[in-house]
């Protein structure tokens, strides 16, 4: 489980996903609510945020030894900016015959084949209030290296990636997910895009919201 928050250090972290994580646990699903360095943390941004996520995913193998986890089926789930990281981590370095593809602290951008991105790239985030804006050194001067890593073609491996599109989401408009799904399908990858009617941005992580019930069922179906 990977939280969002615009990848900024002064916004909430894993607590954003606590409630839906607990809801899954009540149904017997083991959940690893992963934290990572963000812009504003020492080493956060590019590539630290990504190497943290890769290392965090790989650490599940160690947790499995203690908690006797079944790693035959693993689902990467994320919300908002964390959804982007979940997609990346789920295919970061495909390894045949291994249940978790992100192995070790791999540098993002390696072992990727260049792909195409939607024109709907995330807009630059402005921070307001008394907080200073993050140092731009956290973002690579060669933006192409970042986008190449994020656009690496997702080779089909087992279950199809899924995407939930929030009809009324002003923060991550549905067209972002639709553009990704179209691009992935054009590349030959199996993708399922689910349009959640009437849902906004945060209904997806509210365990009492109808939208979460749909997402929860989707996650559990991937684990069956």
Gap between the Cα atoms of 148 and 132, Å rounded: 29
Nearest to 179 by CA among 109, 110, 117: 117
Residue 189 lies in a domain: no
pTM equals 0.68
Top pLDDT among 112 and 98 is at 98
Residue 144 lies in a domain: yes
Residue 179 lies in a domain: no
Residue 89 lies in a domain: yes
Residue 139 has pLDDT above 50, yes or no: no
Residue 86 has pLDDT above 70, yes or no: yes
Average per-residue pLDDT in the chain? 72
Buried b (16+ CB within 10 A) or exposed e, 112-125: beebeeeeeeeeee
What was the pLDDT predicted at 171? 66
| Structural domain count of the chain | 1
Q: How confident is the model at residue 33 (pLDDT cuts 50, 70, 90)?
A: very high
Residue 84 lies in a domain: yes
Residue 166 lies in a domain: no
Of the given ranges (18-27, 75-84, 117-126, 208-217), which has the lowest mean pLDDT? 117-126
Residue 197 has pLDDT above 90, yes or no: no
Q: How confident is the model at residue 213 (pLDDT cuts 50, 70, 90)?
A: very high
Sign (positive/negative) of CA torsion 34, 38, 41, 47? positive
Residue 167 lies in a domain: no
Residue 41 has pLDDT above 90, yes or no: yes
Q: How confident is the model at residue 5 (pLDDT cuts 50, 70, 90)?
A: very high
Residue 4 lies in a domain: no
| Most confident residue range from 84-93, 132-141, 203-212 | 203-212
**E strands, 69-184, where?**
162-166
Query: CA angle, corner 76, sides to 169 and 42, nearest 5?
Result: 85
Top pLDDT among 224 and 137 is at 224
Buried b (16+ CB within 10 A) or exposed e, 175-206: ebbbebbebbeebebebebeebeebbbbbbbe
Helix, strand or coil for residue 58? helix
Gap between the Cα atoms of 11 and 71, Å rounded: 31
Q: Which helix (H) or strand (E) holds 210?
A: helix 210-223
Gap between the Cα atoms of 156 and 150, Å rounded: 16
Tell me the backbone φ, ψ of residue 194, rounded to 5 degrees.
-110, 120
Domain encompassing residue 41: 14-124+136-160+199-223
Residue 138 has pLDDT above 70, yes or no: no
DSSP class of 196: E
The arithmetic mean of pLDDT across residues 49-78, rounded, is: 90
Helix, strand or coil for residue 165? strand
């Amino acid at each position: 489980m990977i939280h969002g928050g615009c990848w900024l250090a002064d916004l909430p972290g894993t607590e954003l996903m606590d409630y839906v994580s607990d809801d899954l646990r009540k149904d017997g699903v083991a959940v690893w609510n992963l934290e990572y360095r963000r812009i504003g943390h020492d080493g956060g941004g590019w590539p630290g945020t990504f190497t943290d996520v890769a290392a965090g995913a790989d650490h599940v193998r160690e947790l499995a030894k203690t908690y006797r986890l079944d790693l035959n089926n693993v689902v990467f789930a994320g919300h908002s900016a964390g959804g982007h990281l979940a997609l990346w981590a789920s295919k970061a370095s495909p390894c045949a015959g291994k249940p978790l593809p992100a192995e070790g602290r791999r540098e993002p951008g390696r072992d990727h084949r260049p792909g195409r991105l939607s024109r709907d790239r995330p807009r630059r985030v402005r921070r307001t209030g008394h907080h200073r804006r993050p140092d731009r050194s956290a973002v690579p001067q060669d933006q192409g290296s970042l986008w190449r890593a994020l656009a690496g073609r997702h080779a089909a491996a087992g279950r199809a990636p899924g995407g939930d599109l929030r009809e009324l989401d002003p923060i991550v408009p549905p067209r972002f997910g639709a553009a990704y799904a179209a691009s992935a399908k054009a590349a030959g990858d199996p993708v399922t895009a689910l349009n959640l009617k009437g849902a906004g941005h945060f209904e997806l992580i509210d365990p009492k919201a109808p939208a979460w019930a749909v997402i929860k069922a989707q996650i559990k179906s991937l684990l069956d």
